[in-house]
């Protein structure tokens, strides 16, 4: 299964290069089901993989002039605060077994996977439906950006990924950024929050197989470069709905497997 996992890791970066996001939502399922990593630990691995891939992507966007620092900081600072709060305080306080109902055990790992599956389904819907309609020009609203940043930080802290489907619309509508700048700036936000969140986990002494982590990350970055190259020849917008259906199928698979096949 490991070799299949390495192959699947390409998709993480491939989708980022082709359609500007989406692949990071697959990191935790790949780590859990193909590399047999504990779901809670997988969220830490995912933070690094997502963060390092977003770092490469944001540098490419910087060279294209698509990074906007002010809205990025308005989003990233509250997002980072809520992310660290969740990983430092909330997650450690959740018991390994939350409750048992008629011999069915609801564990912390099950909770992470089910919430993650719900996020995958929500993300897939945003990818399948038609593009966001053109926005009407309005004043920058950094208070709303910060509020959404808090929400995204909570999701990212709990799940190790996710939130891109909230970041980009927030930057479009409340920071008045065009789509290319919203995508570029969202990568910068993901890079900042994910890697600092991972650094916090390492300082807390979690056990990381760095050889495996760096190998998966390198493959994801290779996928990013392939996707960036293909994006010059293929219209990523046309691929987005198809990838959305794939993410939807993965989300449904997690729910079916955890509730019906275990």
Half-sphere exposure of 134 (CA within 13 A, CB side): 2
pLDDT digits (tens, 9 = 90+) for 6-44: 998 898 888 777 766 666 788 888 999 999 999 989 999
Kindly give the residue spans of alpha helices, DSSP state H, lying in the chain.
2-19, 27-33, 39-63, 69-85, 91-93, 108-128, 142-159, 164-174, 179-203, 210-231, 236-256
3-class secondary structure for 195-209?
Answer: HHHHHHHHHCCCCCC
First to last CA, the chain: 19
| 27-31, 46-50, 158-162, 222-226: range with lowest mean pLDDT | 158-162
Q: pTM of this prediction?
A: 0.85
- DSSP label of 134: P
Please report, rounded to a whole number, the percentage of residues in the chain having pLDDT higher than 90.
20
- Quick one: pLDDT at residue 31? 92
Given a cut of 60, whether residue 138 has pLDDT beyond it is: no
Given a cut of 80, whether residue 262 has pLDDT beyond it is: no
- Quick one: pLDDT at residue 79? 92
Sketch the domain layout of the chain as residue ranges: 2-261
CB atoms within 10 A of CB 116: 28
CB atoms within 10 A of CB 95: 8
**Residue 24 token pair:** 């990071």
- Quick one: pLDDT at residue 162? 62
pLDDT digits (tens, 9 = 90+) for 53-108: 888 888 888 888 888 899 999 999 999 999 999 998 998 898 988 888 777 788 88
């Amino acid at each position: 299964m490991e070799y299949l996992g390495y192959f699947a890791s390409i998709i993480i970066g491939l989708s980022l290069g082709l359609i500007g996001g989406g692949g990071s939502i697959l990191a935790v399922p790949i780590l859990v089901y193909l590399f047999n990593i504990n779901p809670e630990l997988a969220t830490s691995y995912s933070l690094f993989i997502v963060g390092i891939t977003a770092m490469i992507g944001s540098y490419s966007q910087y060279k294209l002039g698509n990074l906007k620092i002010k809205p990025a900081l308005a989003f990233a600072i509250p997002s980072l605060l809520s992310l660290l709060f969740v990983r430092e305080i909330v997650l450690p306080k959740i018991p390994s077994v939350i409750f048992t109902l008629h011999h069915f055990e609801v564990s912390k790992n099950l909770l992470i996977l089910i919430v993650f599956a719900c996020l995958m389904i929500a993300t897939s819907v945003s990818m399948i439906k038609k593009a966001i309609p053109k926005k009407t020009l309005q004043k920058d609203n950094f208070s709303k950006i910060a509020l959404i940043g808090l929400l995204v930080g909570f999701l990212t802290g709990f799940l190790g990924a996710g939130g891109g489907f909230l970041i980009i619309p927030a930057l479009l509508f409340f920071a008045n950024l065009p789509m290319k700048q919203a995508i570029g700036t969202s990568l910068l936000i993901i890079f900042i929050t994910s890697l600092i969140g991972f650094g916090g986990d390492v300082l807390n002494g979690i056990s990381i197989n760095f050889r495996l982590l760096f190998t998966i990350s390198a493959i994801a970055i290779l996928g990013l470069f392939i996707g960036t190259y293909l994006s010059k020849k293929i219209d990523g917008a046309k691929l987005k709905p198809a990838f959305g259906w794939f993410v939807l199928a993965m989300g449904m698979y997690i729910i079916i497997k955890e509730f019906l096949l275990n």
